[in-house]
């Protein structure tokens, strides 16, 4: 019987007045790629609180949730398990703190990028999904 793994995470889309997006560089199994600040929520933690905590851990900024954008659901069969990722996407804005890099975590850099340059970055697919949710605000909170 194959193992089953489900991961629930919360991510923040933060776009400033200069049309720049805040990203973190993830140290993933397929190499370094840019991702939204965020990550797995702790047991018993509300995703709303999780995204605020994760943004601070990965970027140094204190964030405030503006709105729920939607949910990304990805299922994939891996050699040793079935993996299901649920990603809860929020729009957030910065209300304090200072930009800094995470030390000893799953990311190593935090940086602002012009939205126009996103297509040139090595990035995770969920970044594109989150931007689609941000731009289109689908009523059901899902992109098809």
Position 90 scores a pLDDT of 98
Position 134 scores a pLDDT of 98
Residue whose C-alpha is closest to residue 91's, from 135, 140, 29, 42 = 135
Region 35-62 average pLDDT: 98
- Asked if the model's pLDDT at residue 111 lies above 90, the reply is yes
Domain-located, residue 141 = no
The DSSP string of 89-122 is EEEEEEEEE-----SSSSEEEEEEEEGGGGGGS-
Mention every residue, 6+ apart, whose C-beta is less than 8 A from residue 105.
Answer: 57, 58
User: Model's pTM, two decimal places?
Assistant: 0.95
Position 11 scores a pLDDT of 98
Q: Quote the domain boundaries for residue 20.
A: 3-95+112-136
- Asked if the model's pLDDT at residue 78 lies above 90, the reply is no
Domain-located, residue 87 = yes
- Asked if the model's pLDDT at residue 23 lies above 90, the reply is yes
Domain-located, residue 103 = no
Domain-located, residue 142 = no
Q: Which of 6-15, 16-25, 51-60, 78-87 has the lowest mean pLDDT?
A: 78-87
Please state the domain count of the chain: 1
Domain-located, residue 104 = no
Domain-located, residue 21 = yes
């Amino acid at each position: 019987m194959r193992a089953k793994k489900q991961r629930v995470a919360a991510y923040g889309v933060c776009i400033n007045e200069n049309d720049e997006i805040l990203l973190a560089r993830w140290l993933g199994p397929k190499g370094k790629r840019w991702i939204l600040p965020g990550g797995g929520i702790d047991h018993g933690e509300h995703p709303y609180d999780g995204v605020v905590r994760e943004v601070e851990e990965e970027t140094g900024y204190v964030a405030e949730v503006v709105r729920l954008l939607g949910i990304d659901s990805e299922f994939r069969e891996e050699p040793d398990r079935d993996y299901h990722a649920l990603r809860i996407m929020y729009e957030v804005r910065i209300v304090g703190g200072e930009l800094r890099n995470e030390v000893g975590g799953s990311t190593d850099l935090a940086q602002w990028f012009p939205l126009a340059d996103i297509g040139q970055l090595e990035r995770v697919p969920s970044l594109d999904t989150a931007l689609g949710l941000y731009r289109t605000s689908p009523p059901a909170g899902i992109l098809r």
